[in-house]
Amino acid sequence: MIPVYINGAACISVQDTLSENFSQNLSPENSAQVVKAIEPNYKEFIPPALIRRMSKTVKMSSVASHYALQEAGIENLDAIIVGTGMGCSQDSEKFLKNVIDNKEEFLTPTFFIQSTHNTVAGQIALGLQCHAYNFTYVNTSSSLEFSFLDAKLQINDGEAENILVGSTDEQTERTMELYKLNKTIKKEENLPVDYLNSTTDGVIWGEGSSFFVLGKDKTENSYAQLTDIQIRSRLNPDEAQSFIEGFLAKNKITNHDIDAIILGFSGDATSDVYYRKAMDLFQNSALLYYKHLSGEFNTASGFSTFMACHILKNQEIPEVMMINSLKKEEIKNILLYNHLGGNDHSLVLLEKA
Protein backbone atom coordinates (compact mmCIF):
# COMPACT_ATOMS: atom_id res chain seq x y z
CA MET A 1 0.00 0.00 0.00
CA ILE A 2 1.36 3.44 -0.97
CA PRO A 3 2.16 5.66 2.05
CA VAL A 4 0.12 8.87 2.29
CA TYR A 5 1.81 11.96 3.72
CA ILE A 6 0.45 15.22 5.07
CA ASN A 7 2.66 17.77 3.32
CA GLY A 8 0.81 20.96 4.23
CA ALA A 9 -1.46 21.98 7.10
CA ALA A 10 -3.24 25.20 8.00
CA CYS A 11 -5.95 26.07 10.49
CA ILE A 12 -8.19 29.01 11.34
CA SER A 13 -9.67 28.53 14.79
CA VAL A 14 -10.55 30.11 18.11
CA GLN A 15 -6.78 30.23 18.68
CA ASP A 16 -4.40 32.33 16.55
CA THR A 17 -3.28 29.24 14.64
CA LEU A 18 -2.11 31.15 11.58
CA SER A 19 0.74 32.76 13.51
CA GLU A 20 4.16 31.08 13.59
CA ASN A 21 4.41 30.71 17.38
CA PHE A 22 0.78 29.82 18.02
CA SER A 23 1.63 26.77 20.17
CA GLN A 24 3.23 29.03 22.78
CA ASN A 25 0.12 31.21 23.05
CA LEU A 26 -2.69 28.66 23.28
CA SER A 27 -5.37 29.88 25.69
CA PRO A 28 -8.22 27.70 27.07
CA GLU A 29 -11.77 28.91 26.43
CA ASN A 30 -14.06 27.73 29.23
CA SER A 31 -16.27 30.68 30.27
CA ALA A 32 -18.37 31.54 27.20
CA GLN A 33 -21.23 29.56 25.70
CA VAL A 34 -20.02 30.27 22.17
CA VAL A 35 -16.45 31.06 21.04
CA LYS A 36 -15.63 32.61 17.68
CA ALA A 37 -12.71 31.99 15.33
CA ILE A 38 -9.89 34.53 15.03
CA GLU A 39 -10.19 35.65 11.42
CA PRO A 40 -7.34 36.95 9.26
CA ASN A 41 -7.43 40.10 7.14
CA TYR A 42 -9.30 38.64 4.18
CA LYS A 43 -8.42 41.59 1.93
CA GLU A 44 -4.88 40.22 1.71
CA PHE A 45 -6.17 37.04 0.05
CA ILE A 46 -9.57 37.76 -1.55
CA PRO A 47 -10.64 40.66 -3.82
CA PRO A 48 -12.96 43.05 -1.90
CA ALA A 49 -15.76 42.59 -4.44
CA LEU A 50 -15.81 38.85 -3.72
CA ILE A 51 -15.52 39.16 0.07
CA ARG A 52 -18.95 40.77 0.32
CA ARG A 53 -20.60 37.79 -1.35
CA MET A 54 -18.79 35.12 0.66
CA SER A 55 -20.02 33.59 3.89
CA LYS A 56 -17.63 33.22 6.81
CA THR A 57 -16.94 29.53 6.20
CA VAL A 58 -16.04 30.16 2.54
CA LYS A 59 -13.67 32.98 3.51
CA MET A 60 -12.00 30.93 6.26
CA SER A 61 -11.61 27.95 3.93
CA SER A 62 -10.18 30.04 1.10
CA VAL A 63 -7.44 31.41 3.35
CA ALA A 64 -6.70 28.12 5.16
CA SER A 65 -6.44 26.24 1.85
CA HIS A 66 -4.14 28.96 0.49
CA TYR A 67 -1.76 28.54 3.42
CA ALA A 68 -1.80 24.73 3.20
CA LEU A 69 -1.05 24.73 -0.52
CA GLN A 70 1.66 27.35 -0.12
CA GLU A 71 3.32 25.29 2.59
CA ALA A 72 3.21 22.12 0.50
CA GLY A 73 4.46 23.95 -2.60
CA ILE A 74 1.67 22.47 -4.70
CA GLU A 75 -0.03 24.22 -7.60
CA ASN A 76 -1.70 21.37 -9.48
CA LEU A 77 -4.18 19.30 -7.51
CA ASP A 78 -5.73 15.98 -8.46
CA ALA A 79 -8.72 16.45 -6.17
CA ILE A 80 -10.38 18.81 -3.69
CA ILE A 81 -12.31 17.14 -0.88
CA VAL A 82 -14.05 19.05 1.92
CA GLY A 83 -15.88 17.79 5.00
CA THR A 84 -18.48 19.91 6.77
CA GLY A 85 -21.25 19.32 9.26
CA MET A 86 -23.34 22.45 8.76
CA GLY A 87 -22.07 23.82 5.44
CA CYS A 88 -22.78 27.46 4.59
CA SER A 89 -25.39 27.88 7.30
CA GLN A 90 -25.15 31.69 7.36
CA ASP A 91 -26.47 31.89 3.81
CA SER A 92 -29.08 29.23 4.59
CA GLU A 93 -30.40 31.36 7.45
CA LYS A 94 -30.40 34.50 5.30
CA PHE A 95 -32.40 32.74 2.59
CA LEU A 96 -34.96 31.37 5.05
CA LYS A 97 -35.29 34.80 6.68
CA ASN A 98 -35.97 36.33 3.25
CA VAL A 99 -38.61 33.69 2.60
CA ILE A 100 -40.41 34.64 5.82
CA ASP A 101 -39.92 38.42 5.58
CA ASN A 102 -41.05 38.58 1.94
CA LYS A 103 -43.88 36.05 2.36
CA GLU A 104 -42.29 33.73 -0.21
CA GLU A 105 -42.39 36.38 -2.95
CA PHE A 106 -39.75 38.35 -4.90
CA LEU A 107 -36.86 36.25 -3.59
CA THR A 108 -33.32 36.65 -4.89
CA PRO A 109 -31.68 33.25 -5.48
CA THR A 110 -28.16 34.29 -4.39
CA PHE A 111 -28.35 33.15 -0.75
CA PHE A 112 -29.99 29.87 -1.79
CA ILE A 113 -27.32 29.15 -4.41
CA GLN A 114 -24.53 29.88 -1.91
CA SER A 115 -26.13 27.93 0.93
CA THR A 116 -25.33 24.46 -0.41
CA HIS A 117 -22.75 22.42 1.49
CA ASN A 118 -20.50 22.00 -1.55
CA THR A 119 -20.09 25.78 -2.02
CA VAL A 120 -16.75 25.72 -0.15
CA ALA A 121 -15.11 23.08 -2.35
CA GLY A 122 -16.55 24.76 -5.44
CA GLN A 123 -15.28 28.22 -4.52
CA ILE A 124 -11.77 26.88 -3.82
CA ALA A 125 -11.78 25.11 -7.20
CA LEU A 126 -12.90 28.29 -8.95
CA GLY A 127 -10.14 30.27 -7.29
CA LEU A 128 -7.51 27.72 -8.30
CA GLN A 129 -9.05 27.04 -11.72
CA CYS A 130 -8.99 23.37 -10.75
CA HIS A 131 -11.23 21.09 -12.85
CA ALA A 132 -10.32 17.88 -11.02
CA TYR A 133 -12.43 15.66 -8.74
CA ASN A 134 -14.41 17.88 -6.37
CA PHE A 135 -16.39 16.35 -3.52
CA THR A 136 -18.00 17.31 -0.21
CA TYR A 137 -18.76 14.98 2.71
CA VAL A 138 -21.52 15.88 5.16
CA ASN A 139 -21.29 13.30 7.92
CA THR A 140 -21.56 15.37 11.13
CA SER A 141 -18.47 14.85 13.30
CA SER A 142 -16.82 12.34 10.95
CA SER A 143 -16.98 14.56 7.85
CA LEU A 144 -13.22 15.20 7.83
CA GLU A 145 -12.43 11.54 8.48
CA PHE A 146 -14.55 10.45 5.48
CA SER A 147 -12.71 13.05 3.40
CA PHE A 148 -9.35 11.66 4.55
CA LEU A 149 -10.51 8.13 3.75
CA ASP A 150 -11.55 9.12 0.23
CA ALA A 151 -8.23 10.89 -0.40
CA LYS A 152 -6.20 8.01 1.02
CA LEU A 153 -7.99 5.47 -1.18
CA GLN A 154 -7.43 7.58 -4.30
CA ILE A 155 -3.70 7.90 -3.60
CA ASN A 156 -3.41 4.19 -2.73
CA ASP A 157 -5.15 3.25 -5.98
CA GLY A 158 -2.85 5.49 -8.03
CA GLU A 159 -5.70 7.77 -9.10
CA ALA A 160 -4.16 10.87 -7.52
CA GLU A 161 -0.83 12.20 -6.27
CA ASN A 162 -1.75 15.42 -4.45
CA ILE A 163 -5.12 16.12 -2.84
CA LEU A 164 -6.42 19.09 -0.85
CA VAL A 165 -8.53 17.88 2.08
CA GLY A 166 -10.32 20.28 4.38
CA SER A 167 -12.90 20.66 7.11
CA THR A 168 -14.96 23.73 7.94
CA ASP A 169 -17.93 24.88 10.00
CA GLU A 170 -19.26 28.30 10.94
CA GLN A 171 -21.65 29.61 13.59
CA THR A 172 -24.96 31.30 12.91
CA GLU A 173 -27.04 33.35 15.31
CA ARG A 174 -30.30 31.42 15.01
CA THR A 175 -28.65 27.98 15.15
CA MET A 176 -26.79 28.97 18.32
CA GLU A 177 -30.11 30.07 19.86
CA LEU A 178 -31.63 26.69 19.01
CA TYR A 179 -28.61 24.84 20.42
CA LYS A 180 -29.07 26.71 23.69
CA LEU A 181 -32.77 25.82 23.76
CA ASN A 182 -32.18 22.10 23.18
CA LYS A 183 -29.30 22.12 25.70
CA THR A 184 -26.58 21.22 23.18
CA ILE A 185 -24.77 24.32 24.48
CA LYS A 186 -24.10 24.55 28.21
CA LYS A 187 -26.25 26.77 30.40
CA GLU A 188 -24.57 29.93 31.64
CA GLU A 189 -24.89 28.80 35.26
CA ASN A 190 -22.75 25.74 34.44
CA LEU A 191 -19.82 27.90 33.30
CA PRO A 192 -16.85 27.97 33.54
CA VAL A 193 -16.53 24.30 32.63
CA ASP A 194 -13.90 21.84 33.80
CA TYR A 195 -13.50 19.82 30.60
CA LEU A 196 -11.99 16.78 32.27
CA ASN A 197 -14.27 16.58 35.30
CA SER A 198 -17.56 18.04 34.14
CA THR A 199 -20.75 16.96 35.92
CA THR A 200 -23.14 18.79 33.58
CA ASP A 201 -24.30 18.18 30.03
CA GLY A 202 -23.78 20.48 27.06
CA VAL A 203 -20.71 21.97 25.41
CA ILE A 204 -19.05 25.27 24.52
CA TRP A 205 -19.58 25.70 20.78
CA GLY A 206 -16.76 26.79 18.47
CA GLU A 207 -16.01 27.06 14.77
CA GLY A 208 -13.06 26.85 12.41
CA SER A 209 -11.51 25.70 9.18
CA SER A 210 -8.59 23.26 8.76
CA PHE A 211 -6.97 22.24 5.47
CA PHE A 212 -4.34 19.63 4.63
CA VAL A 213 -2.43 18.67 1.50
CA LEU A 214 -2.11 14.90 1.16
CA GLY A 215 0.48 13.44 -1.19
CA LYS A 216 2.10 10.15 -2.13
CA ASP A 217 5.62 11.55 -1.83
CA LYS A 218 7.40 12.54 1.36
CA THR A 219 8.87 16.06 1.23
CA GLU A 220 11.01 18.30 3.42
CA ASN A 221 7.80 19.88 4.72
CA SER A 222 6.00 16.60 5.53
CA TYR A 223 4.26 16.64 8.88
CA ALA A 224 3.11 13.08 9.24
CA GLN A 225 2.09 9.88 7.53
CA LEU A 226 -1.65 9.26 7.47
CA THR A 227 -1.65 5.58 8.35
CA ASP A 228 -5.29 4.63 8.80
CA ILE A 229 -8.82 5.86 9.55
CA GLN A 230 -11.78 4.01 11.03
CA ILE A 231 -15.33 5.27 11.57
CA ARG A 232 -18.27 3.83 13.52
CA SER A 233 -21.62 5.59 13.71
CA ARG A 234 -22.80 4.03 16.99
CA LEU A 235 -20.99 2.57 20.00
CA ASN A 236 -21.92 1.63 23.54
CA PRO A 237 -19.47 3.06 26.10
CA ASP A 238 -18.41 -0.50 26.95
CA GLU A 239 -17.45 -1.09 23.30
CA ALA A 240 -15.04 1.88 23.12
CA GLN A 241 -12.00 -0.12 24.20
CA SER A 242 -12.64 -3.03 21.83
CA PHE A 243 -13.22 -0.52 19.00
CA ILE A 244 -9.77 0.97 19.62
CA GLU A 245 -8.03 -2.37 20.20
CA GLY A 246 -9.46 -3.78 16.96
CA PHE A 247 -8.23 -0.72 15.06
CA LEU A 248 -4.72 -1.04 16.52
CA ALA A 249 -4.61 -4.78 15.82
CA LYS A 250 -5.61 -4.12 12.22
CA ASN A 251 -2.52 -1.89 11.94
CA LYS A 252 -0.34 -4.52 13.68
CA ILE A 253 0.43 -2.37 16.73
CA THR A 254 -0.74 -2.32 20.36
CA ASN A 255 -1.62 0.39 22.87
CA HIS A 256 2.04 0.35 24.00
CA ASP A 257 3.07 1.62 20.55
CA ILE A 258 0.93 4.76 20.86
CA ASP A 259 3.13 7.60 22.10
CA ALA A 260 0.26 10.07 22.45
CA ILE A 261 -3.51 9.90 22.17
CA ILE A 262 -5.58 13.04 21.57
CA LEU A 263 -9.08 12.76 23.04
CA GLY A 264 -12.05 14.99 22.30
CA PHE A 265 -13.17 15.83 25.85
CA SER A 266 -15.94 18.41 25.36
CA GLY A 267 -17.17 18.96 28.92
CA ASP A 268 -20.39 17.06 28.17
CA ALA A 269 -20.61 14.70 31.16
CA THR A 270 -22.75 12.08 29.40
CA SER A 271 -20.69 11.61 26.23
CA ASP A 272 -17.20 12.14 27.70
CA VAL A 273 -17.48 8.70 29.32
CA TYR A 274 -16.20 7.22 26.02
CA TYR A 275 -12.93 9.11 26.41
CA ARG A 276 -12.52 7.98 30.00
CA LYS A 277 -12.90 4.38 28.84
CA ALA A 278 -10.27 4.99 26.16
CA MET A 279 -7.85 6.56 28.66
CA ASP A 280 -7.71 3.31 30.63
CA LEU A 281 -6.05 1.60 27.65
CA PHE A 282 -3.16 4.06 27.47
CA GLN A 283 -1.47 4.13 30.85
CA ASN A 284 1.96 4.41 29.19
CA SER A 285 1.06 7.12 26.65
CA ALA A 286 0.81 10.90 26.75
CA LEU A 287 -2.88 11.72 27.21
CA LEU A 288 -3.96 14.92 25.48
CA TYR A 289 -7.18 16.87 24.93
CA TYR A 290 -8.04 19.89 22.76
CA LYS A 291 -11.66 21.09 22.77
CA HIS A 292 -10.94 23.48 25.63
CA LEU A 293 -8.88 25.28 22.96
CA SER A 294 -11.16 24.95 19.92
CA GLY A 295 -14.67 24.52 21.28
CA GLU A 296 -16.95 21.70 20.12
CA PHE A 297 -18.34 21.66 16.59
CA ASN A 298 -18.96 19.18 13.80
CA THR A 299 -15.45 19.30 12.36
CA ALA A 300 -13.48 20.10 15.52
CA SER A 301 -11.29 17.07 14.73
CA GLY A 302 -9.62 19.25 12.09
CA PHE A 303 -8.07 21.25 14.94
CA SER A 304 -6.82 18.08 16.66
CA THR A 305 -5.33 16.80 13.38
CA PHE A 306 -3.57 20.14 12.88
CA MET A 307 -2.17 20.00 16.42
CA ALA A 308 -1.07 16.37 15.97
CA CYS A 309 0.78 17.32 12.78
CA HIS A 310 2.77 19.99 14.63
CA ILE A 311 3.47 17.69 17.58
CA LEU A 312 4.90 15.02 15.27
CA LYS A 313 6.94 17.48 13.24
CA ASN A 314 8.31 19.53 16.15
CA GLN A 315 8.39 16.69 18.71
CA GLU A 316 6.89 19.06 21.29
CA ILE A 317 3.60 18.77 23.16
CA PRO A 318 1.99 22.03 24.38
CA GLU A 319 1.56 21.86 28.17
CA VAL A 320 -2.00 23.20 27.90
CA MET A 321 -3.07 20.01 26.06
CA MET A 322 -1.69 17.52 28.59
CA ILE A 323 -3.92 15.43 30.85
CA ASN A 324 -1.06 13.48 32.42
CA SER A 325 2.62 14.36 32.74
CA LEU A 326 4.02 11.52 30.63
CA LYS A 327 6.27 12.57 27.74
CA LYS A 328 8.19 10.09 25.60
CA GLU A 329 11.63 10.89 24.23
CA GLU A 330 10.38 10.40 20.68
CA ILE A 331 6.82 10.72 19.42
CA LYS A 332 6.29 8.29 16.54
CA ASN A 333 2.58 7.38 16.66
CA ILE A 334 -0.37 9.59 17.59
CA LEU A 335 -3.93 8.28 17.81
CA LEU A 336 -6.88 10.69 17.48
CA TYR A 337 -10.25 9.68 18.93
CA ASN A 338 -13.32 11.85 18.42
CA HIS A 339 -17.11 11.76 18.45
CA LEU A 340 -19.95 14.28 18.79
CA GLY A 341 -22.46 13.70 21.57
CA GLY A 342 -21.68 9.97 21.66
CA ASN A 343 -22.30 9.44 17.93
CA ASP A 344 -20.06 9.11 14.84
CA HIS A 345 -16.90 7.79 16.46
CA SER A 346 -13.65 8.11 14.52
CA LEU A 347 -10.06 6.95 14.94
CA VAL A 348 -7.16 8.42 12.97
CA LEU A 349 -3.61 7.04 13.25
CA LEU A 350 -0.76 9.38 12.35
CA GLU A 351 2.92 8.42 12.20
CA LYS A 352 6.02 10.56 12.22
CA ALA A 353 6.99 11.26 8.61
Residue 112 has what pLDDT?
72
Q: Which is it for strands 79-83 and 208-215: parallel, antiparallel or unpaired? A: unpaired
State the average pLDDT over residues 106-123. 82
Assess whether 254 and 195 both reside in one domain: no
Specify whether the CB–CB gap between 130 and 81 falls below 8 A. Answer: no
Assess whether 210 and 119 both reside in one domain: yes
Residue 89 has what pLDDT?
81
Assess whether 191 and 287 both reside in one domain: no
Assess whether 239 and 283 both reside in one domain: yes
pLDDT in tens, 191-205: 999 999 999 999 999
In a domain, residue 222? The reply is no
Assess whether 234 and 143 both reside in one domain: no
In a domain, residue 15? The reply is yes
Residue 54 has what pLDDT?
87
* Identity of the amino acid at 73: G
- Which three-class secondary structure string do you get for the chain? CCCCEEEEEEEECCCCCCCCCHHHCCCCCCCCCECCCCCCCHHHCCCHHHHCCCCHHHHHHHHHHHHHHHHHCCCCCCEEEEECCCCCHHHHHHHHHHHHHCCCCCCCCHHHHHCCCCHHHHHHHHHHCCCCEEEEECCHHHHHHHHHHHHHHHHHCCCCCEEEEEEEECCCHHHHHHHHHCCCECCHHHCCCCCCCCCCCCECECCEEEEEEEECCCCCCCCEEEEEEEEEEECCHHHHHHHHHHHHHHCCCCHHHCCEEEECCCCCCCCCHHHHHHHCCCCCCEEEECHHHHCECCCCHHHHHHHHHHHHHHCCCCHHHECCCCCCCCCCEEEEEEEECCEEEEEEEEEEC
- Count of domains in the chain? 2
State how far the Cα of 145 lies from the Cα of 126, in Å rounded to an integer: 24
Residue 94 has what pLDDT?
80
- Residue after which a domain boundary falls, among 160, 188, 215: 215
Residue 103 has what pLDDT?
80
Q: Domain containing 255 — which CATH number? A: 3.40.47.10
In a domain, residue 221? The reply is no
More confident residue, 122 or 88: 122
Assess whether 203 and 236 both reside in one domain: no
Domain that holds residue 135: 5-215
Residue 183 has what pLDDT?
95
Residue 208 has what pLDDT?
97
In a domain, residue 127? The reply is yes
Residue 325 has what pLDDT?
94
Residue 187 has what pLDDT?
96
In a domain, residue 122? The reply is yes
In a domain, residue 43? The reply is yes
In a domain, residue 17? The reply is yes
Confidence of residue 175 (pLDDT cuts 50, 70, 90): very high
Residue 75 has what pLDDT?
86
Burial class (CB in 10 A: 0-12, 13-18, 19+), 322: middle
Assess whether 178 and 237 both reside in one domain: no
Residue 110 has what pLDDT?
73
CB within 8 A of 42, min separation 6: which ones? 51, 59, 63
Assess whether 248 and 155 both reside in one domain: no
- Residue after which a domain boundary falls, among 167, 182, 215: 215
Assess whether 252 and 197 both reside in one domain: no
pLDDT in tens, 216-249: 999 998 999 999 999 999 999 999 999 999 999 9
Residue 260 has what pLDDT?
98
CA-to-CA dists, residue 266 to 17, 180, 257, 275, 340, angstroms: 20, 16, 26, 10, 9
pLDDT in tens, 271-330: 999 999 999 999 999 999 999 999 999 999 999 999 999 999 999 999 999 999 998 999
* Identity of the amino acid at 75: E
In a domain, residue 146? The reply is yes
Specify whether the CB–CB gap between 335 and 313 falls below 8 A. Answer: no
Assess whether 160 and 207 both reside in one domain: yes
Assess whether 198 and 258 both reside in one domain: no
The pLDDT of residue 2 is above 90: no
- Residue after which a domain boundary falls, among 183, 215, 247: 215
CB within 8 A of 249, min separation 6: which ones? none
The pLDDT of residue 48 is above 90: no
Assess whether 54 and 139 both reside in one domain: yes
Specify whether the CB–CB gap between 171 and 205 falls below 8 A. Answer: yes
